[in-house]
Chains A and B, each alone.
Chain A
């Protein structure tokens, strides 16, 4: 097994997989690397710099990995690589390998690949097909394309819409929706495909806070049910609460990787222009003034409350 965790800390298996015995789990983890990116370097056509450089990343089946990083760090490109768009659609120069479920991206075609991997785009406007009059039909679009029988399609669309809380939008035009609603439709149209790997590129960027939390909850639930999730996000408070692991990208490279609290409170993030939780930045300042006594900094409200009490 390759080194998965670079911060040198053991993964808390019991915490993450409460239903499985720890001993059995180790065995399970060892054999269930679902995504295996090895030494991936990629450059878009017509650009000078590499968008990704020497990326090594392994993700277990059913793991929820959050990817953070400043704009231009390579987060979207990483999503495209997982979804096969890099290099199959964008072309460009690639070296290294992306494996999902033991299959190599380099040896697959995009139409095989999309059956396993779903990607929700950063901008939902870019994802809506433009070929459908209602949200219901829009969400069924992918299923139609892979030839799912009509009855099953209907059930799956209804289930997916209820899961993401958009059943009341079924008859609206996808273009008449607000940004946040459109984003939920985009997410639902991927979830309905039941991909084994879900790549999400800032899926809550236009959502209100409650919507954001709900989406994190849905994604967590999908991971519990065995879907592997790689989610690009800026909202660190919710990452800390819901994700299993955080990968911090900067200039196309992995800067840090590890447990959410360790990565999200690292001083390195501030130095490199990452966004941090207000709880973290305020506690860091409080520490200088002797108002924060703990060794570790908080990311979530609970952690902040415990330290300031």
Chain B
């Protein structure tokens, strides 16, 4: 299911023009990272995908649905959105109820709900925490509950807003595994992130936003190598990309395997 964005502009009621003419197509099954400085419009952009925000002008379509013509509730069957802050998202008494809420609301049969919930809990390593109140869990695990409650809705498109914020190395690896699994299932995954190393290691396409416009868009290696343009939106290339550049490696490298291979050949 494609996402098609045409001449999208959005101005907040306060007069702040957050998006200033965005044109993008995201194909079914793509793994896309959105990067850019604070206030660049990243969250504003993705909130258009599930209809939480409607364009001031231009259009956003999810498959054949234009977001202005469908309710947020209806769009929720196509686009799952994991909030930056799990505390804004979680409200149920226990993890099982929380994770079941989404698929139940989409009107699936009980058997299907049970199956989706079971799978989402297991993917997020929550199977032993079903009876716990989400607010008795550490912020790390609350994040995983937030992920699971969206993944259980089995939407073709899943959006993560800064999934690795405040997470330790073990949990970042856990989240990377979740994303890889969604990719294997053919889902479209769109992630906002400031963690550029995480971005390099897990995403094929990178979109850099600056000041409400698309600054760069392309394969991760290509985009992440353009340090001077990225600097305009306060993004540093991944650590190994910077190192490779200073060392004068011929190709842009973003990951450890590429880096070691290039250094070994030198």
CB-CB contacts below 8 Å: A188-221 with B: 202, 205-212
Nearest CB to that of B248 among chain A residues? A309
| Choice from A72, A172, A202 contacting B140 with Cβ under 8 Å | A72
Q: Is the interface of A mostly helix, strand, loop or mixed?
A: loop
Q: Is the CB of A278 within 8 A of B37?
A: no
B92 lies within 8 A of chain A by Cβ: no
CA gap between A178 and B38 in the complex, in Å: 6
Residues of A within 8 A of B16 (CB): 176
Residues of A within 8 A of B171 (CB): 71
- In the assembled complex, how far is the CB of residue A49 from the closest CB belonging to chain B, in whole angstroms? 12
A36 lies within 8 A of chain B by Cβ: no
CA gap between A69 and B233 in the complex, in Å: 30
Q: Is the CB of A206 within 8 A of B162?
A: yes
A90 lies within 8 A of chain B by Cβ: no
- In the assembled complex, how far is the CB of residue A150 from the closest CB belonging to chain B, in whole angstroms? 27
CB-CB contacts below 8 Å: A228-257 with B: 234, 237
Residues of B within 8 A of A279 (CB): 239-240, 243
Q: Is the CB of A178 within 8 A of B39?
A: yes
CB-CB contacts below 8 Å: B166-225 with A: 166-172, 194, 196-197
CA gap between A70 and B197 in the complex, in Å: 18
Total count of chain B residues near the partner, CB < 8 A = 43
Nearest CB to that of A235 among chain B residues? B195
CA gap between A308 and B245 in the complex, in Å: 12
Q: Is the CB of B239 within 8 A of A206?
A: no
A273 lies within 8 A of chain B by Cβ: yes
B1 lies within 8 A of chain A by Cβ: no
Summed over the interface, the residue pairs from A and B with CB atoms below 8 Å come to a total of 121
CA gap between A234 and B85 in the complex, in Å: 18
Q: Is the CB of B234 within 8 A of A71?
A: no
| Choice from B162, B238, B256 contacting A179 with Cβ under 8 Å | B162
Stretch of A10-18, A93-101, A284-292 at the chain-chain interface: A284-292
Nearest CB to that of B35 among chain A residues? A208
B264 lies within 8 A of chain A by Cβ: yes
A40 lies within 8 A of chain B by Cβ: no
A304 lies within 8 A of chain B by Cβ: yes
B29 lies within 8 A of chain A by Cβ: no
Q: Is the CB of A285 within 8 A of B260?
A: yes
Residues of A within 8 A of B260 (CB): 282, 285-286, 289, 291
Residues of A within 8 A of B38 (CB): 178-181, 206-208, 211
Residues of A within 8 A of B170 (CB): 70-71, 273
Nearest CB to that of A76 among chain B residues? B139
Q: Is the CB of A305 within 8 A of B247?
A: yes
Most B C-beta atoms less than 10 A away, residue of A209, A273, A277: A209
Q: Is the CB of B167 within 8 A of A71?
A: yes
- In the assembled complex, how far is the CB of residue B206 from the closest CB belonging to chain A, in whole angstroms? 14
B residues with a Cβ closer than 8 A to A are 12, 14, 16, 36-39, 43, 84-85, 87-88, 138-140, 162, 165-172, 194, 196-197, 233-236, 238-240, 242-243, 246-247, 256, 259-260, 263-264
Closest 7 CB pairs of A and B: A180-B38, A210-B234, A275-B169, A71-B140, A278-B239, A70-B168, A209-B236
* Besides A180-B37, A180-B39, A273-B168, 13 new A-B residue pairs in contact (Cβ under 8 A), listed by A number: A71-B166, A71-B168, A123-B139, A125-B88, A177-B39, A180-B38, A208-B36, A208-B38, A210-B236, A274-B168, A278-B239, A285-B256, A301-B242
